[in-house]
């Protein structure tokens, strides 16, 4: 058991029978009264963020979680299938646990977060940026580059994103998996 003095960002705790990750915290010592810790907790199962206040010195139950490297293999009726990078063990994960399933391509390396005590997968995190090939893009109009104009493009995973006019089909781009936005063009 730990106390509120051990609270830090990213720490996973058991709270009200659920697993939560601490997104944000602030120790508060008012001029009058007892100290407390104001937190924002993210439910690892549902993704919902809720504010909570702990009194200083209260015992908290820390949950052991592990991040394990996996490689995406394929998608079928069972869900998204991944293979552990070291043990070659395969696991199927449902789409709701993946932070950006539309950017998954075959061979993509991800991290799956497991609850160490029960060996249950909690979430699947893609890297912040992925490199994908543009399979279809409208041709850009010459001279239409004075403004920051974007056009729609389809990527190799089937997802549509907005890209600048100078990017053509067949080129590779870097996409931010957290927002789904174009980041930059990638040179081979």
Q: How many CA atoms lie within 13 A of 181 on its CB side?
A: 4
Q: Which residue has the higher pLDDT, 10 or 15?
A: 15
Question: Cα–Cα distances in Å, from 7 out to 60, 117, 144, 148, 186?
Answer: 9, 20, 52, 43, 40
**Any bridge partners for residue 163, and if so which?**
151
Distance CA 137, CA 86 (A): 38
Q: Report percent pLDDT > 90 for the chain.
A: 45
Q: What is the DSSP letter of 164?
A: E
pLDDT greater than 90 at residue 154: yes
The predicted structure's pLDDT at residue 120: 87
pLDDT greater than 90 at residue 129: yes
pLDDT greater than 80 at residue 169: yes
pLDDT digits (tens, 9 = 90+) for 12-63: 899 988 889 898 999 999 988 899 999 999 888 777 899 999 998 899 999 8
pLDDT greater than 80 at residue 1: no
149 band by pLDDT with thresholds 50, 70 and 90: confident
pLDDT greater than 80 at residue 150: yes
The predicted structure's pLDDT at residue 141: 67
pLDDT digits (tens, 9 = 90+) for 91-127: 999 988 888 899 999 999 999 988 888 888 888 889 9
> How would you list the strands of the sheet with 49-55, edge to edge?
2-3, 59-62, 12-15, 18-28, 36-43, 49-55
pLDDT greater than 80 at residue 153: yes
Residue 47's SS3 state is coil
Q: Which residue has the higher pLDDT, 139 or 64?
A: 64
Mean pLDDT of the chain: 88
Nearest Cα to 75, choosing from 31, 108, 53, 33?
A: 108
The predicted structure's pLDDT at residue 168: 87
Q: Which domains does the chain have, with CATH numbers?
A: 2-62 (2.30.30.30), 65-125 (2.40.50.140), 129-186 (2.40.50.140)
């Amino acid at each position: 058991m730990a106390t509120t003095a051990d609270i830090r960002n990213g720490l996973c705790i058991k709270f009200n029978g659920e697993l939560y990750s601490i997104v944000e915290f602030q120790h508060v010592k008012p001029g009058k009264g007892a100290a407390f810790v104001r937190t924002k907790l993210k439910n690892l199962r549902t993704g919902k963020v809720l504010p909570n206040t702990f009194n200083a010195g209260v015992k908290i139950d820390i949950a052991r979680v592990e991040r394990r490297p996996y490689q995406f293999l394929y998608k079928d009726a069972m869900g998204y299938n991944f293979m552990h990078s070291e043990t070659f063990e395969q696991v199927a994960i449902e789409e709701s646990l993946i932070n950006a399933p539309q950017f998954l391509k075959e061979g993509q390396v991800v991290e799956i977060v497991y609850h160490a005590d029960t060996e249950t997968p909690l979430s699947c995190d893609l890297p912040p940026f992925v490199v994908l090939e543009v399979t279809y893009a409208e041709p850009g109009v010459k001279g239409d580059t004075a403004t920051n104009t974007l056009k729609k493009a389809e990527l190799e995973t089937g997802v549509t994103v907005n890209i600048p006019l100078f990017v053509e089909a067949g080129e590779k781009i870097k996409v931010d998996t957290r927002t789904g936005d174009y980041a930059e063009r990638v040179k081979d």
